[in-house]
Amino acid sequence: MACANPLRGKTSRRVAAGAALAGLALLACEAVVPAADIPERIETIPQLDVVLIVIDTLRADWTTPYGFEKDTTPELASWAQRGVLFEQARAQSSWTKISMASMLTSLWPRSHGIREAQDGLAEGAQTLAEVLQQAGYQTFAVQTNGWLHQSFGFHQGFDRYLFPAGASGKIAPHEKPSLWTHADRVVEEAEHLIQTRDPDRPMFLYVHLMDVHEFAAPPEFQVYGNDTAAMYQAAVRWSDDALRRIREALDAAGTLDRSVVVLASDHGETFGEHGIHGHARNVLTPSIHVPLVFRLPFAVAPLRIKSQVRNLDLAPTLLELAGVPSPSRFEGTSLLPLITSSSQGEDRPSYAALGFTLFRDASVQDALTTGDWTYARNAPAKENEPDDYTSRAVAPGGEFLFDRSVDPGEKVNLIELEGARAAAMRGELEKHLAEAELNDVKDEGVRIDPAIAGRLRAMGYLR
């Protein structure tokens, strides 16, 4: 049994700084479960709740447990100290719609086929929420990303799919208008769902925060400086505080000790790497290396899984933990064997795609990462592309090969020097892309909600 938490019930941001230290202190008096015993202990929980929190645009290496020099995520660090962290988790795109389609359906981009602004999930798609709903779970979502609006079909399987309105006037985005609802409102809605859920049924709760995407944070979190990177860090810190508040809401409701809580991200963010700022420009490492941390209902000795995994492995993992079979069409593989085994396991090859050019400095790109190596190639220029297409930072038709074991920043393109490896990875990528798209997952020509379309247009996503 866990020790009493001296911070329980307190929600003031002033206590946030001590939350991580309190978490470490509690770990010392919790009974630590061996990794091999995790499945057996999970089975003793009659109604396992599953909570998936996605912080949009969060790159892994700018968070505390992944070694960032500034303490941007103390709450997430406390989860890693008693749970499971995957050091090399890869998203399937650097654009939210493609990436979240893969995360929630456990399908590769080539299989679900979502590429364009007006693509969405068709009724034939099988989502994590639908599978859990059919297994008796009550399913809730609170999310604020326009590309995931219910008009695109991402509401499938949810009893309640909330897109809250309103934003706090004290939030200061950096150099751009604030268009999406901020963390306070999202947490407020999540807390209400937690408090009013049916206590006699298990719950799946999906929360999606947009503040890091917005570079938005209240003044008390703006302590890292005044430039773009500092504002991003402040937004990360504020989003981490939202994690604390959701954890405390679960604790206050008496359900934390029966909840698997997962922090994930749809993609990262670049700050000049490969000549790019932002995301949805390519699918190289800064844009797709994301955090993945599991906080289990009980403490385990900190587990850091070094082998590469993929976001599309998340849905099968959560289903296995919940004791629910995965659909046969899911292409991801449960991570539970990696968690419970003393062996790190082999790197899982990961594919990523960016389907159309959201921005002028973007490339239609496919990539394959296998352990230490990244191979990426851009689609050739089309006849109707603008004249300045070839001046983009990532040129069309180009190929890229990086050895991250000696070049973690992917600065040296080895495509000419490592011909054999490039040919092998090119062949693997082509084989992967040759598989047919599933014919019942994508909905083409979606009519975008006018209010959402206006906001997306204001951000430069729609022309």
Mean pLDDT value of segment 311-330: 98
| Cα–Cα distance measured from residue 141 to residue 452, given in angstroms and rounded to the nearest whole number | 18
The reported pLDDT for the residue numbered 148 is 93
- pLDDT value of position 15: 36
Torsion of CA 164, 165, 168, 174, to 10 degrees: 90
In this prediction, residue 130 carries a pLDDT of 98
- SS3 (DSSP) at 290: strand
pLDDT in tens, 173-232: 665 556 678 999 999 999 999 999 999 999 999 999 999 998 999 999 999 998 999 999
* Burial label, 417 (beta-carbon count in 10 A; 0-12, 13-18, 19+): exposed
CA–CA–CA angle 288, 294, 298 (5° rounding) = 175
Q: Is the domain of 55 the same as that of 201?
A: yes
Return the CATH number at 405: 3.30.1120.10
- Both tokens assigned to 384: 């109707």
- DSSP state letter for 33: B
Same-domain pairing of 322 and 432:
no
Percentage of the chain lying above the pLDDT 70 cut: 83
User: What is the residue range of 394's domain?
Assistant: 351-436+450-458
**40 assigned to some structural domain:** no
pLDDT at 453 over 90: no
The tens digit of pLDDT for each residue in 352-387 reads 999 876 666 667 889 999 989 999 998 866 655 554
pLDDT tens across 49-78, in order?
999 999 999 999 999 999 999 999 999 999
8 A C-beta contact, residue 309 and residue 89: yes
Torsion of CA 426, 281, 211, 123, to 10 degrees: -60
> Phi, psi at residue 403, to the nearest 5°?
-105, 100
Residue 29 lies in a domain: no
Quick one: 367 and 412 in the same domain? yes
Same domain, 98 and 198: yes
pLDDT at 282: 87
Examine the domain organization and report whether 135 and 58 are in the same domain: yes
pTM greater than the 0.85 cutoff: yes
Residue 341 lies in a domain: no
Among residues 336, 329, 318, which one has the least CA distance to residue 139?
Answer: 318
Q: Is 438's pLDDT higher than 80? A: yes
Helices vs strands, H then E, count in the chain: 14, 17
Query: What letter represents residue 19's amino acid?
Result: A
Cβ neighbour number for residue 148 with a 10 Å cutoff? 29
In a domain, 5, yes or no: no
Domain count within the chain? 2
Q: Are residues 317 and 363 in the same domain?
A: no
Please state, in angstroms and as integers, the Cα–Cα distance from residue 344 to each residue in 83, 88, 316, 329, 340, following that order: 16, 12, 19, 26, 10
For residues 366 and 224, state if they share a domain.
no
Question: Measured in whole angstroms, how far is the alpha carbon of residue 240 from the centre of its chain?
Answer: 14
CATH of residue 170's domain is: 3.40.720.10
Is 332 a member of any domain? no
Average pLDDT of the chain, as a whole number = 87
CB 396 within 8 A of CB 360: no
Question: Is position 8 within any domain?
Answer: no
76 shares its domain with 216 = yes
Question: Is 25 part of any domain?
Answer: no
In 10 A of CB 383, how many CB atoms? 4
What pLDDT is attached to residue 391?
40
Domain membership flag for residue 240: yes
Residue 61: both structure tokens together: 């290496």
Longest dimension (CA), the chain: 66
What DSSP character marks residue 257?
A: G
pLDDT at 17: 43
